[in-house]
Structure 1
Amino acid sequence: MKHLFLSLFVVLALSSCKSTFFQVATTQCDNLKSEQNALFFEDANCKVYYNLWSEGGNAGFLFHNKSDLTIYVNLAESFFVKNGIAYDYSLNRTFAKSVSQSFSNQQSVSAWGFKNGLPVLNSVSEDGKASKIADLSVLMPGLFGGTDAKEKSTATSSQVTYSEEPIVAIPPHTAKYFSEYSIYETLYRDCNLLLYPSKKQVRPLKFTSANSPVTFSNIITYSMRNSGDDIQIKNDFYISEIKNLPKKVAIKKVFRRDCDNREIKEWHFTDAAVNKFYLRYSKDGDDSKY
């Protein structure tokens, strides 16, 4: 019976173990340049920055106005497009924000005086003159249990609602961030792509813009303050490579020193880049090969 229990425990322990894997996708965009930790598009008036690295892929962008005039981004004419399907950036949402306030108002009902060189509390009559000497329970309420004031507490709350504007103004030499959509959230499966590879079995799949499983783009429409003419930016991306990695390959241990020169252990992605993104998944009793 003891051996049966131990065997059952081992089976349950093994079945509860999950091996973690990462699917890493690399993208390509022909009209973007690279700068430090970002990809960017640039014209005479603005720079549009991208950093896709996140789980599911961050399709958002930072719009930097490098001109001396205010730029107006028209969200009603701006779209995220994935595999030919357009998604609006102007969502016409209404947000509610709760605002609360609380305050106390302490109203004194007495006046301080002195008797025999000691402070005492004089009750105040209607004419404002001291009428009598108060006892110590009124003089020192913290010690003798009395009080010399009435305190009123008031709390108010309100709700402020505001709607999204279809036109977003960006002042000169400032930036605003726009983010609504992920690139994809479902694993790409293929007969030439092992789902649970070992380190030696990792084989990336390559794609062109013509056969890529996922193409996406941002269409951004803006205008300048002194001109009614719309200017449209289109940044077209496609996935050029997909590979599945076991956790031991995807993540590495890194040591760094803090301000007190203590060694701190951190875990970093080995394949992180601004033109890549990833999906995390686990092998949980799944016998699928691809």
Structure 2
Amino acid sequence: MKNLYFLGVMAATLLSSCSASFQVVETASSDVKTDGKEYVFNTNEVAVHYNLWDGRGNILFNIENKSNSPIYVDLDRSHLIVNGSSVDYYLEEETTTSVKSGAARGSWGTLWSDQYEVSRKAKMKKVVEVPPQSFITVGGRTIISEPLSDCGINKIKRGGIASSGTFTESDSPLTFRNYITYSNSYDLASANVVQNEFYVVRVHNMTTSTFNGKTIKEKDCPGEFSKERAELPFAKPQNIVLKMKSSSAF
């Protein structure tokens, strides 16, 4: 059965060695593909791009309209389903949203980096129009809020990392499904559904130094001073990262 459990019920578990600073949760999917740069689901009409790493435990995805006509996403009938529990993406209350603009096609770097962002307060629309050859960003719902734990990953040994065993879709401690409803007409007369399912395959607890990896020096332009950045060897679109509580106890 599922050996991992949410760490919130084990708040008093002590680490006899180094304290974990980060947890990285590896996920997999039978229908969403990745090449290391993108985690994407494609149809002839739409593409759904996921970046679980940037979500920090929350779902974050782009819905791209690849067609030459508008599509209409029904957020009131679109849901995140975690271990069978469903929440929809539409929120009744007024929220602060981010409007992003950038290239809808291209490499992972183009999709997620070449953008500008404007925040504004507004009441969320139930139906959002996506013009041809463009995308919208949807997110904000929580996949996982507390780190996972089992006896195999509670104690970090030499090397600054402790890893769980490997899980399959049938025994994964955490599964989640993205259910997106959209239509080609504003009145939603004929609805289409995209469903993407994910599950946890492995969990790693690690120290900050292991999480950061090597220090990399690079220049944006010739003649500039070198800039340093962390390697972040676990930074992949299919990985979820959680910050652990800074204490000798989890």
Q: How does 1:258-273 map to 2 (within 5 A)?
A: 258-259=220-221, 260-273=223-236
* C-alpha deviation, 1:54, in angstroms: 3.3
The aligned counterpart of 1:180 is 140
Please tell me whether residue 231 in structure 1 is matched to residue 192 in structure 2: yes
* C-alpha deviation, 1:65, in angstroms: 0.5
Any idea what SS the aligned residue of 1:61 has?
strand
State how far apart, in whole Å, the 1-side matches of 2:93 and 2:123 are: 6
Q: CA RMSD in A?
A: 2.7
* C-alpha deviation, 1:178, in angstroms: 0.6
State how far apart, in whole Å, the 1-side matches of 2:138 and 2:161 are: 39
Q: Deviations over 1:243-283 (max 9, x none)?
A: 11222222121111243331222123111111001112256
State how far apart, in whole Å, the 2-side matches of 1:161 and 1:77 are: 22
Which of 245, 269, 276 is equivalent to 2:239?
276
- Point out the structure with max Rg over C-alpha: 1
State how far apart, in whole Å, the 1-side matches of 2:134 and 2:161 are: 47
Alpha-carbon distance change, 222 to 200 in structure 1, aligned in 2, over 3 angstroms = closer
1:79·1:88 contact (CA, 8 Å) conserved in 2? yes
> Which structure 1 segments of 5+ residues have no match?
1-17, 98-159
Higher-strand-fraction structure:
1
Any idea what SS the aligned residue of 1:248 has?
helix
Alpha-carbon distance change, 95 to 235 in structure 1, aligned in 2, over 3 angstroms = closer
Q: For residue 172 of structure 2, what is the amino acid of its counterpart? A: S
Alpha-carbon distance change, 257 to 188 in structure 1, aligned in 2, over 3 angstroms = same
2:22·2:241 contact (CA, 8 Å) conserved in 1? yes
The aligned counterpart of 2:176 is 216
The aligned counterpart of 1:130 is none
* C-alpha deviation, 1:205, in angstroms: 2.2
State how far apart, in whole Å, the 1-side matches of 2:124 and 2:160 are: 51
The aligned counterpart of 1:149 is none
| Percent identity of equivalent pairs | 25
* C-alpha deviation, 1:202, in angstroms: 3.1
The aligned counterpart of 2:12 is none
Q: Deviations over 1:15-50 (max 9, x none)?
A: xxx955221110011111225632111112111110
1:199·1:246 contact (CA, 8 Å) conserved in 2? no
State how far apart, in whole Å, the 2-side matches of 1:205 and 1:246 are: 19
Q: For residue 62 of structure 1, what is the amino acid of its counterpart? A: N
* C-alpha deviation, 1:55, in angstroms: 6.3
1:52·1:59 contact (CA, 8 Å) conserved in 2? yes
Give the aligned length.
208
Q: For residue 279 of structure 1, what is the amino acid of its counterpart? A: L
* C-alpha deviation, 1:93, in angstroms: 2.2
Q: Deviations over 1:183-206 (max 9, x none)?
A: 212121111223333317633321
Q: For residue 83 of structure 2, what is the amino acid of its counterpart? A: N
